[in-house]
Amino acid sequence: MLFSIVTELYTIYNLLNFVEGLNETIVVLTVLTIASIIGGSIFFSRLITRICISCVNFSCPLNRVPRKIVDTYLKKNPMMKEAWEYKGYKINSDT
């Protein structure tokens, strides 16, 4: 998403600096860029608030599962627990 927005902004910049008489095109590209930014923001906010709170990929930087649930999950899955502890994860004793 970031690549497409940067590309759109770079295109608008080039059109503004090097081409005259394309005002409608520049307006359309600006509106598309704004729509891309809004759409991407909505996508990531929904992803983080709806999907990432229940994902079992605990190593993902977007994962928002509470630590208590992660610890409970790892206690029930000894192979995963061993792998995570090998990498330095500490399970809380109060869960």
Query: What are the pLDDT digits (tens) for 10-60?
Result: 877 777 777 666 677 777 778 888 888 898 899 999 999 999 998 989 889
| H helical segments located in 1-95 | 2-18, 23-46, 67-76, 78-86
- Helical (H) or strand (E) element with 19: none
Structure tokens at 5: 């927005």
Amino acid at 46: R
Most distant CA atoms of the chain, gap in Å: 69
pTM equals 0.60
